[in-house]
Amino acid sequence: MRSRSLAACVLGLTVLCLNVTAHAQENYPNKPVHLIVPFPPGQATDIVARMFADRLTRLWGQQVIVENKPGIPGMVAGQVAVPDGYTITVGTSGMLVVNPSVHRQLPYDTLKDYVFIGGLAITPMLIVVNATLPYQTLPELVAAAKKEPGKFNIGYGGVNNTQHLTGEYFKSVSGTNMVGVTYKGSANAVTDLLGGQVSILVDSLAATQSHIQAGKVRALATSSLQRLPQLPEVPTVAESGYPGFESIGWQGLIVPRGTPMPVVEKISRDVQGILADPHMQALLVEKGLLPDARGAAAWSQFVAAELAKTREVVKIAKIQPTD
């Protein structure tokens, strides 16, 4: 009899705890939410994060507080946070797939430590040339590069980042021998392209659009699977003879492993709703981005595939991982 009473007591406490948890999830959020941005204020990811933080604050009636924690410390802070949905991190291609591919040891594991809420935006790369060069299409450039191996320098606005890996990936699939030149940032790379120190550049629309519009730089292809609304006349690399080619930067939201799925799904639905707003879509396009409304399941699969692909590109490019 006593064992039955004990069992009934345990069952009652379990039901009570489940009801409390369910109630908390139904009322999520009922206090301020912290959004960790692993980049400094004013950087592109920070700008996008603040756009969404503002919209979520209005939607939820709770303040979404942006916290800038640049680099790996930001990712670790998001990893060790209480898994209750009140600490969200902006995960990027650099942090979630490039870092694990070029560093032997990281204090976080992309696939084991986080739950993926969904996408925010895509940053397509462009392959551009100095407008004084005669090449009007990507196949023309590839033909010239194959005719004279080693003649062309191709610039990247960074080292071991999306620009760098996109260029190396393209060199591999196109079978071209071009000399990669890495820069500390896009500004220096664009300056050398305009000055003729490099013939070709792989960089973002934000870094190159004004020079394309001024007629100083010619865009030959975009690395996204779809053409850009900002440059609808520019074909994709995939359309230019390399089916399936995609190499992009991206941003999305992640939470610590163990966060309740009802909370994850609510955040995901709310973010997808914001991305369905034409005004938000226009704001992202204005900044050289593409909206990415993939929800939790689709974005989880996407990140895993991107990680596998990036690791393969690092091998192909013979980039030596660092500690």
Q: How confident is the model over 149-197, as pLDDT tens digits? A: 999 999 999 888 899 999 999 999 999 999 999 998 899 999 999 999 9
CA-angle at 224, arms to 281 and 200, nearest 5°:
120
CB-based contacts of 188: which residues, under 8 Å, 6+ apart?
A: 157
Task: Return the pLDDT at 25.
Answer: 60
| CATH code for the domain in which residue 285 is found | 3.40.190.150
Q: How confident is the model over 284-311, as pLDDT tens digits? A: 999 999 999 999 999 999 999 999 999 9
Please identify, among 240, 267, 300, the residue that sits at the C-terminal boundary of a domain.
240
Cβ 206 vs Cβ 44: under 8 Å: yes
Judged on CB neighbours under 10 Å (0-12, 13-18, 19+), 163 is buried
Q: How does residue 10 score in pLDDT terms, banded at 50, 70 and 90?
A: very low
In a domain, 9, yes or no: no
pLDDT for residue 146 is more than 50: yes
pLDDT for residue 16 is more than 50: no
Neighbours of 304 (CB within 10 A): 15
Please identify, among 240, 256, 281, the residue that sits at the C-terminal boundary of a domain.
240
pLDDT for residue 135 is more than 70: yes
Structure token pair of residue 298: 């689709």
| H-run or E-run covering 210 | helix 205-213
Please identify, among 240, 275, 292, the residue that sits at the C-terminal boundary of a domain.
240
Are both 211 and 304 inside the same structural domain?
no
Q: How does residue 321 score in pLDDT terms, banded at 50, 70 and 90?
A: confident
- The percentage of the chain sitting over the pLDDT mark of 90, rounded to a whole number, equals 85
Q: How confident is the model over 217-261, as pLDDT tens digits? A: 999 999 999 999 999 999 999 999 999 999 999 999 999 999 999
Which structural domain, as residue segments, surrounds residue 235? Answer: 125-240
Are both 206 and 136 inside the same structural domain?
yes
